[in-house]
Structure 1
Amino acid sequence: MKKKLSLITLFFFVSIASVFAQFHVSSPDLVNESEMAKKYTCDGADISPTIIWKNLPPTTLSIAVLVEDPDAPNGSFCHWIIYNIEPKSGALPSGIKPGISPKGEFNQGQNDFSVKGYSGPCPPKGKTHRYIFTVYALDSLLPDYRPVDASEFKRLISDHILAKATITGLYKK
Structure 2
Amino acid sequence: MTESKKAPLPHDFHPRVPSFTVVSDDVSPGSALKDAQVHAEGNTSPHLRWEGFPPETQSFAVTCFDPDAPTGSGFWHWVLFDIPASVTELAPGAGSGSFKGLPDGAVHARNDYGTKDFGGAAPPAGENHRYVFTVYAVDSAELGPDEDASPAVVGFNLRFHTLARASLIGEYEGPSTD
What does residue 86 of structure 1 align with? Answer: 84
* Percent identity over paired residues: 33
- What 5-or-longer segments of structure 2 have no aligned partner? 1-17
Shift of 1:43: 2.6
Q: How many residues align?
A: 153
What does residue 155 of structure 1 align with? Answer: 156
What does residue 7 of structure 1 align with? Answer: none
Q: Does 1:64 align with 2:61?
A: yes
Give the superposed CA RMSD: 2.1
| In 1: Cα distance, 2:63 partner to 2:56 partner | 21
Show the 5 A alignment for 1:7-46: 23-46=20-43
Shift of 1:104: 2.9
AA aligned to 1:56 is F
Contact 2:108 2:147 in 1 (8 A): no
Of 99-108 and 156-165, deviating more is: 99-108
Normalising by the residue count of structure 2, what TM-score does the alignment of the two structures yield?
A: 0.79
What does residue 139 of structure 1 align with? Answer: 139
Q: Cα gap change, 1:32/1:23 in structure 2, threshold over 3 Å: closer, same or farther?
A: same
| In 2: Cα distance, 1:87 partner to 1:34 partner | 29
Whose helix fraction is larger, Structure 1's or Structure 2's?
1
What does residue 125 of structure 1 align with? Answer: 125
What does residue 6 of structure 1 align with? Answer: none
- What 5-or-longer segments of structure 1 have no aligned partner? 1-20
Contact 2:109 2:146 in 1 (8 A): no
Helix, strand or coil at the partner of 2:160:
coil
Name which one, 1 or 2, has greater alpha-carbon Rg.
1
